[in-house]
Amino acid sequence: MQIPLKYILRSSSSRRLTTVITILGIALVVFVFTAVLMMANGVEKTLRSTGSDDNLIVARKAAMSEIMSILDRDAAGIISNMPLVASFADGRPMSSKEAVVIINLNKIGAPGISNVIVRGVESAAFPLRPQVRIVQGRMFRWGAREVIAGAGITHRFTGAQIGEKMKFGGDLWTVVGIFEADGSGFESEVWGDSNQIMDAFKRSSFSTITMRLKQPDDLSEIAAAFESDNRLQYFVAKREKKFFEEQSEMMAKFIRILGIFVTIIFSTGATIGAMITMYGAVANRTVEIGTLRALGFFRRSILLAFLSESFVLSLAGGIAGLGLASLLQFFSISTLNFGSFSELAFSFALSPSIIATSLGFSLLMGLIGGFLPALRASRLNIIQALRAV
């Protein structure tokens, strides 16, 4: 004989204060847990969208990021002019030799400085990355000490606004435009003429080359070409999307580990709270339990009834915490990207897998917190329970 669901719901509503406190405790834990997963997913999503499967990026082997890569001019010229590289209508190779450096900028409204990437690009960089578009001001002039700033940093750093001047590389650079890049990591960068930036930093080598092949789906030929040319033995070509995805792995893993550690501490308190609530429910309904047993309800029915009640509380808390965490999608924050050692602006990103994981986590807390009280309820002696009246 099964106990009806309305009995379980009525039992929870009869102890409103303890029920609300338990739900709020679980909601807080689920909020923290979901926020951590959304943060890690936001970092990964931002860096994944930075690259494109149509583009290749050539960097030095074993380089963890662009700033660690060095590509000399001779090798850069050989790679850019390979027959496998696509060309524009005017015959120019569809490739951009780029220099990536890090500068320090002061934060707005906060003490201290942070690292920002400056990317020196060639004109082909913009057709290769059509998501990069000027939304305010104008494009920088080639051959001039002018730059454009990403929308992700213009509100966070001094000197990153139109008309302001940044000082780096021993010179002053005028910000003439603001660009967006569909929320990708490029929005956390400053772009300028690669020749001007390399001259300012006294660099003779590029960092990477971004290019497009005539046959973008086939990488076997380009890999074989690199292996067969002794001058290119130190370099590797990867899909641009994969390259930036790899940069997100370390950062996302760190966020998850730290967040789960904090969540475990919080969840212990919430689970104990749920357990106390359910033990209180058993103590207050001893006679009811005895009556149910006398009416013929099985022990497993009592056990499932109290476990169901615990699941109802934890699910309510999980939905509340998840709903609160979903509001974080309207906010964007920035942090230091371990892969590039620079500031990265990103938004919290919710996904179906995070929703399922968060609700599953809340139900797990309900199972752990409700099992022992439910087991105790199912084992109550009928006569002793009825005498409690």
Closest C-alpha to 304, from 4, 87, 35, 100: 4
Distance, CA of 291 to CA of 306 (rounded, Å) = 15
CA distances from 84 to 48, 90, 201, 224, 229 (A): 25, 17, 32, 11, 14
Residue 343, in any domain of the structure: yes
72 lies in the same domain as 210: yes
Q: Which residue has the higher pLDDT, 165 or 23?
A: 165
96 lies in the same domain as 167: yes
* pLDDT tens readout for residues 299-355: 666 667 777 777 888 888 899 999 999 999 988 877 767 666 677 888 889 999 999
123 lies in the same domain as 201: yes
Distance, CA of 375 to CA of 282 (rounded, Å) = 10
pLDDT over 70 for what percent of the chain? 84
The yes-or-no verdict on residue 356 having pLDDT over 80 is yes
Q: What pLDDT was estimated at residue 218?
A: 76
Number of neighbours of residue 60 by Cβ within 10 angstroms? 18
Distance, CA of 386 to CA of 377 (rounded, Å) = 13
Beta pairing class for 205-206 and 342-347:
unpaired
For residue 356, the surrounding DSSP H or E stretch is helix 352-378
155 lies in the same domain as 80: yes
363 lies in the same domain as 256: yes
**Six-digit token pair at 185?**
């990591």
Residue 238, in any domain of the structure: no
Asked if residues 132 and 181 have their Cβ atoms less than 8 Å apart, the reply is yes
Q: What angle do CA 159, 112, 67 make, to 5 degrees?
A: 70
- Of 233, 258, 279, the one marking the end of a domain is 233
Residue 17, in any domain of the structure: yes
Residue 55, in any domain of the structure: no
* pLDDT tens readout for residues 247-283: 777 777 777 787 778 777 877 877 777 777 766 666 6
> Mean pLDDT throughout 281-310?
65
Residue 266, in any domain of the structure: yes
222 lies in the same domain as 358: no
Q: Which residue has the higher pLDDT, 214 or 11?
A: 214
266 lies in the same domain as 293: yes
* pLDDT tens readout for residues 161-175: 999 999 998 899 999
Residue 94, in any domain of the structure: yes
Q: What pLDDT was estimated at residue 146?
A: 96
Q: What angle do CA 37, 346, 249 make, to 5 degrees?
A: 55
353 lies in the same domain as 214: no
* Structural domain boundaries, residue 138: 62-233
In b/e form, how buried is each residue of 292-319, taking b as 16+ CB within 10 angstroms? bbeeebeeebbbbbbbbbbbbbbbbbbb
Number of domain units in the chain: 2
Residue 54, in any domain of the structure: no
**Assign residue 93 a region: left if phi > 0, alpha if psi is -120 to 50, beta otherwise?**
beta
Asked if residues 148 and 176 have their Cβ atoms less than 8 Å apart, the reply is yes
- Of 180, 200, 233, the one marking the end of a domain is 233
40 lies in the same domain as 132: no
68 lies in the same domain as 32: no
196 lies in the same domain as 261: no
Token look-up 């050692």 returns 341
184 lies in the same domain as 121: yes
Distance, CA of 363 to CA of 355 (rounded, Å) = 12
Residue 202, in any domain of the structure: yes
Q: Is 70 exposed, middle or buried (0-12, 13-18, 19+ CB in 10 A)?
A: middle
**Six-digit token pair at 362?**
């809340």
- Of 233, 256, 290, the one marking the end of a domain is 233
Rg, Å, the chain Cα set: 30
* pLDDT tens readout for residues 41-95: 888 888 877 878 889 999 998 888 888 899 999 999 999 989 889 999 888 999 9
Q: Of how many residues is the chain composed? A: 389
